[in-house]
Structure 1
Amino acid sequence: MSPLQLSVFWRLSLAFFFNSFLFFLDIFLAVVVDAKCHAGNATSESGSKRGSTLPRNQSEVEDLFGEESDWVTKSDDRDSVCGWTSWLTYGQTVYMVGLLLGSLVGGALSDRYGKRPVLLFSVYVQAVCGLLPAVLPQPFLFLAVRCLAGVCCCCINNCSFSLAVEWTAPSARLWPPAFLGFCFSLGTMAGALLAWLSPTWTQLHLSLALPQFICLPLYRSLPESPSWLALMGRTDVLFRYRKGNAADKQCVDMLLGSNVAEKQKAAEAQKDQTTSGLLPFKHPTVLLRLSVMSYLGAATALTYYGICMNIGSFGVNVYSAQFFSGLSETPCLLIPLVRLDRRPFSMLTLFLSGAACFLSLLLSRHQCDAMLVMSLALLGKFCIIATIFILSLYSIELFPTVVRQRCMSMVNLWFRLGCLVSTLFPPNPEGALSLAAMLIYGGGPIIGCGLCLLLPETIGIPLPDSVDDCLRATTQDPVKRTRKLQSQMAVVGASE
């Protein structure tokens, strides 16, 4: 890997690591606030029994309790949070709404201004969103911040996946989604550990926000996508990337694949269509791909979030369950070692995830062993997260560069709608899910398995820059395309 590629990947991995902190915040908030408020109520009851023995001011508290002299401060903080615990139930829904809004605006902004500025802005705003509830614990501010954090999370995900894939050679495009997903799972485990060590509202938010603030200066040197720079005519930036060293020059030339002037000419030919935003809905090829990927996005979101947000319903400690939930995603780093093409791999993981999720939810309905139910659910979660990684890469390869982010935003929109629908199937007081939820979580991926037959194979081909490139790639044999690409790369290496 060239220095520019390394610069991209380690910064994006850092963004994904911290992105998981606020993603699952609501799971921990309910536990922290409930424990804190119950402890505060018990203290109040015991204090009322002591009557006149209670201290009358903070100075007497300091004299009587010594190291526990922050009793008054904790009591005031408890009252400020416990007074609006009912608002916390809306936090996850508001966050999902933010993810939905981010899918609507993130793609258009990235196509117009580039992925780098949108990603940097989202990372900075997300760090602020993590800190504000600790400083100002107010219900309306908390919900507004959760919505804004959801918008930033969606923009970070979309821009990071696209930026990582566009900085990767065609033969290694499966590694970025797997690596970024591995970093997200590490962040999930780290977030569970920090939440376990943070028993109060303020400590929880500070422990999850301060690490992001410390790392903010590291993102400033993140490079932009070379394909987007070529299409936008930003040859000055490309020249700066190429003159770094021989490895960077060879990397940029290999990623562009053809002459920069040809790419700019193709972009100008489709400029009118692209700016109107109607190109994805006009061409039958793009429309078919968009429809299938949109369904797959909604189905995988329903299954994934149905497991993640009900992880505490399996009868296991919520911190342990969340830790093992993150641990179950770490084997996804080995996905690139599987020698399967995009389409058969997606079909296999969709079928396995649907079967495992349906079986685990069926067992949970009949009150089976909690560890067995959770193990099957996490197996289904591993398969569905593998599907999400493959589909994230698949959608990047299916759509042309000139409208890629807009098409991905539409797919992500349906993904976020699936997230919202998953909140409509909460478990009953016994912890079991309804029959409708079981059928949706298990049947949705299995139906998507059949719809994958409508998609073309994209492994080993250059990213398409226009609809014509999509058509040419569809009519050519995948093996011939791969051999042609390998021969072109060999010629470029010999010339260097």
Structure 2
Amino acid sequence: MSPFQLSVFWRLSLIFFFNSFLFFLDIFTAAVVATNCHHGNAQTLPGRTTAGNQSELKKVLGDESDGMAISFPQDSVCSWTQWLSYGTTAFMVGLLLGTLLGGALSDRYGKRPVLLVCVCMHAVCGVVPAILPQPHLFLAVRCLTGVCCCCINICSFSLAVEWTAPSVRLWPPAFLGFCFSLGTMVGPLLAWLSPTWTQLHLFLALPQLVCLPLYHSIPESPSWLVLMRRTDVLDRYRSKSVADKQCVDLLLGSTWMMQQTAAEALKDQAHGRNAFCDLNLLKHPTVLMRLCIMSYLSAASALTYFGICMNIGSFGVGVYSAQFFSGLAETPCLLIPLVRLGRRPTSMMTLFLSGTACLLSLMLSRYQCATSAGDAKLVMSFALIGKFCILATIFILALYGIELFPTVVRQRCVSLVNLSFRIGCLVSTLFPSNPNGAISLAAMLMYSSGPIIGCGLCLLLPETSGTPLPDSVEDCHRPSKHPLSVCAP
């Protein structure tokens, strides 16, 4: 990798590391409020083991007593804790809005400016609740945080992939996901050290504010610059060093034909000639079948992943340790690019293993009455295995979806698949935990059956690993006889 590529990746990895802090903020918020606002439960810092989930928060809200012990003013948070249970829903709505806005804004103004604006807003969103703890403002900030998180994901993944050679396109999603997992492990430690509402938000937001100046040197996507004919910026990137010149030439050489095709498509759309034709291609049986299958796989993956993430405190283990091991369970995703089974076999394997692990977790918790600490850890272990497998599926599908659709409708299809993913995130909030803190039977059945059904649907999709991206519907039916050659970065 050239020095310029390395600078891109370590800055994007830092963004993803901090992105996880506010992503799971609702879990920590519920734990802190349940500890400080619960009747007679103002414990010292080392002894906090309150489960951080919505069901625990609702139980806290039902306990009223004159002897309530709190660590911050009564009118700051404890007086409106009933609003906190809607924080996850507001965040998921923000993710959905970010899906609708992120792609369009990055295509229009470039991925770099959108990423920089969202990173700054993301850091500010972490500080605002600490300074102004108001219920409606908190929900609005959580929604805006969801928008920023989604736009950061869209722009970061695109920049990382477009600054990578085609032969190693699977590494950027895996590496950025690994950094997100590291942040998921560090976030619980900072939350555990934050016994109050104000300290929690400041501890999670201040590191992001300190690192903001480092992101200014993130470059723009070379593909977008070619499409916008910004050759002056490309020349500046190429003039940094000989290795950077070779890197940019390799990236532009491998994607030049694709960018030329995309430029012609945009030109035709501007004159109103091909827009109606492109929309008709969405009704083609092949494109429509692939779109429906990928949309289902994305929705099922999101439902399982976020369902387990947001209810991690429902497995009978302390919320901070559970969240730490939740991040630890995701770190092996860095090894996914080493699996040489192809897109379809890997997707089928991870979907089946995820559904099976969730089903085993459900059976253990339901039929073996997992009440002891050992049984609870076993139940959580199966759930985390299912979470790891479904996360691996998400990484594969992110690239699989790009390779399945023809160039003329690829962006529209990918946007619809991403929309299905965010709808699955929003649906996951409709399955709250039981009053006893356990995940409901209906929720666990959804988490286990969805991936298993998706495993069977993958049989209807073709294998795309190592094949050129299709430019038309006819290319979708034509098996490639000349797969892409492996070129070193």
TM-score range, shorter chain: 0.7 to 0.9
Cα contact 1:362–1:438 (8 A) shared by 2: no
Contact 1:115-1:225 at 8 Å conserved across structures: yes
CA separation in 1, counterparts of 2:127 and 2:445?
39
Q: 1:146 aligns with which of 142, 145, 151?
A: 142
Query: Residue by residue, what CA displacement relative to the aligned partner does 1:231-285 show, whole Å, maximum 9, x if unpaired?
Result: 2222222222222222222222222236858844651244333898773663435
Mapped pair 1:447 → 2:450: no
**CA–CA distance in structure 2, aligned partners of residues 344 and 144 of structure 1:** 42
* CA distance in structure 2 between the partners assigned to 1:451 and 1:228 by the alignment: 34
The amino acid that maps onto 1:199 is: P
Conserved in 2, the CA contact under 8 Å of 1:182 and 1:333?
yes
Name the residue aligned to 1:70.
none
**Higher mean C-alpha deviation, range 268-277 or range 347-356:** 268-277
**CA drift at 1:336:** 1.4
TM-score, length of structure 1 as denominator length = 0.85
Cα distance between partner residues in 1 of 2:361 and 2:425? 20
Report which of the two structures shows the higher radius of gyration computed on alpha carbons.
1
Q: Match of 2:56?
A: none
Unmatched segments (≥5 aa) in structure 2: 44-69
What is residue 31 of structure 2 aligned with on the other side? 31
Residues 5-404 of structure 1 correspond to what in structure 2 (within 5 A)? Answer: 5-38=5-38, 77-257=73-253, 260=256, 263-264=259-260, 267-273=263-269, 279=278, 282-283=281-282, 284=284, 285-366=286-367, 367-368=369-370, 369-399=375-405
Q: Structure 1 259/105 Cα, relative in aligned 2: closer, same or farther at 3 Å?
A: closer
The alignment-based identity, stated in percent, is: 74
Q: Which residue of 1 aligns with 2:46?
A: none
Counterpart position of 1:54: none
- Distance, in Å, in 2 between the alignment partners of 1:75 and 1:435 is 36
1:297 touches 1:411 (CA, 8 Å); kept in 2?
Answer: yes
What's 1:460 paired with?
466
Residues 455 and 40 of structure 1, relative CA distance in 2, 3 Å threshold = same
Q: 2:7, 2:107 → 1: CA distance?
A: 22
The count of residues paired between Structure 1 and Structure 2 equals: 453
Q: Alpha-carbon deviations, 1:353-389, whole Å to 9, x = none?
A: 0111111122222322101100100111110111111
In terms of fraction of residues, the more helix-rich structure is 1
TM-score computed with the length of structure 2 as normaliser = 0.86
* Structure 2 residue 411 is the aligned partner of structure 1 residue 411: no
Q: Report the counterpart of residue 63 of structure 2 in structure 1.
A: none
Q: Distance in 2 between matches of 1:481 and 1:206?
A: 51
Deviation at 1:343, TM superposition (A): 1.3
Bigger mean CA offset, 212-221 vs 246-255: 246-255
Q: CA separation in 2, counterparts of 1:225 and 1:151?
A: 21
How far did 1:474 drift? 5.3
Contact 1:87 1:139 (C-alpha < 8 Å) held by counterparts: yes
Q: Is the 8 A contact 1:106 1:154 kept in 2?
A: yes
Whichever residue aligns with residue 28 of structure 1, its letter is F
RMSD across aligned positions (CA):
2.5
SS at match of 2:229: coil
Unaligned regions of 5+ residues in structure 1, if any? 44-73
Letter in 2 for 1:410: L
Distance 1:381 1:40, change over 3 A: same
Q: What amino acid is the match of 1:441?
A: Y
Aligned-partner residue type, residue 359 of structure 1: L
**2:125/2:144 contact within 8 Å kept:** yes
SS in 1 for 2:217: coil
